[in-house]
Amino acid sequence: MPAVARQLRLKLGVVGKGGVGKTTLSGLLARAYAEQGRHVVAIDTDSNPNLGLSLGLSLAETEAVPVLPRTAVMGAGGTTPAHELIAEYGRATPAGPMLLSAIKVAEAGAGCTCGGHATVRSLLADALEDVDLTLVDMEAGLEHLSRSGGTLAHADLLLVVCEPTRKSVLTAARTAALAAELGIPGVLAVGNKARGPEDVAFFRDALAAEGIELAGVLPHDAAVAAADQSGVVGLLPVAPDVQQALAEVLAALEAAQVRLAG
């Protein structure tokens, strides 16, 4: 139902503990939305940006994506409309989404990244008329939710990625609490790297105990890990069980959007 889907614009922050799979999931989700014919803008906020790799760019192409200027966009005190920033700084990717790089620390001691966070905040605040999904792949940590103003304050939903460890679920619980303080309307969890039914049960029970909805569970995929290790360039075929899990996550996101819109 493209007509319905098109009305529902989503600003999504992908968050969670370091190494849980935020960038991997961000790439897969952004690609899945783009494959449905939707206009997707994916924003990398890692100071060591690598979302481009997950969207099929080479390392050199990923490193060549220009970093957004540290100025707020129009409507948030700046002078540049969001669509102009995207046109100038965005780069098309083989996976389909337009990639923006918000923060890069090129040299040691180059200073703080507050300006980049402010730019992402104001990009999310600005209504992007023709963008169906704005996805922000966040740097690990909770700073972006507690940083004065909150980089993700204008997100509609947060997707908090967990691996089957207690610590990653604890991070999810803290994230959900901070998101509520910031007034972000919804938080959903995705379990990643599940090696079997015990891990799926762990996600279900541990997240339910924290009152966080589980949108889906992605299996541990040896091909994903191997591609990362070998540095293979380009888009990987998505395994059927990963595709199935992604479809569940997409459905849960759309259901959450409908709930929030209602």
Ligand X SMILES: Nc1ncnc2c1ncn2[C@@H]1O[C@H](COP(=O)(O)OP(=O)(O)O)[C@@H](O)[C@H]1O
Q: Does 23 bind Mg ion (CB under 5 A)?
A: yes
Residue 221 makes contact with ligand X by CB under 6 A: yes
Instruction: Indicate the residue among 23 and 151 with the shorter CB distance to Mg ion.
Output: 23
- Given 43, 123, 169, 224, the residue binding ligand X (CB under 6 A): 224
Return the number of the residue (57 or 224) whose C-beta is nearest ligand X.
224
Q: Is there binding between residue 225 and ligand X (CB under 6 A)?
A: yes
Nearest to 184 by CA among 139, 149, 132, 138: 149
**In angstroms, what is the minimal distance from the CB of 107 to ligand X?**
22
Nearer to ligand X, 23 or 113 (CB): 23
Q: Does the protein bind ligand X through residue 23 (CB under 6 A)?
A: yes
In Å, how far from its chain's centre is CA 147?
A: 18
Binding to ligand X (CB under 6 A) within 226-245 occurs at 228
Q: Does 18 bind ligand X (CB under 6 A)?
A: yes
Nearer to Mg ion, 20 or 72 (CB): 20
Given a contact cutoff of 8 angstroms between Cβ atoms, the answer to whether 236 and 227 are in contact is yes
Assess 62 for contact with Mg ion (CB under 5 A): no
Look at residue 193 and give the partner it binds from Mg ion, ligand X, none, a contact being a CB closer than 5 to 8 Å depending on partner kind: ligand X
Footprint of Mg ion (CB under 5 A): 22-23
Footprint of ligand X (CB under 6 A): 16, 18-24, 140, 192-193, 218, 220-221, 224-225, 228
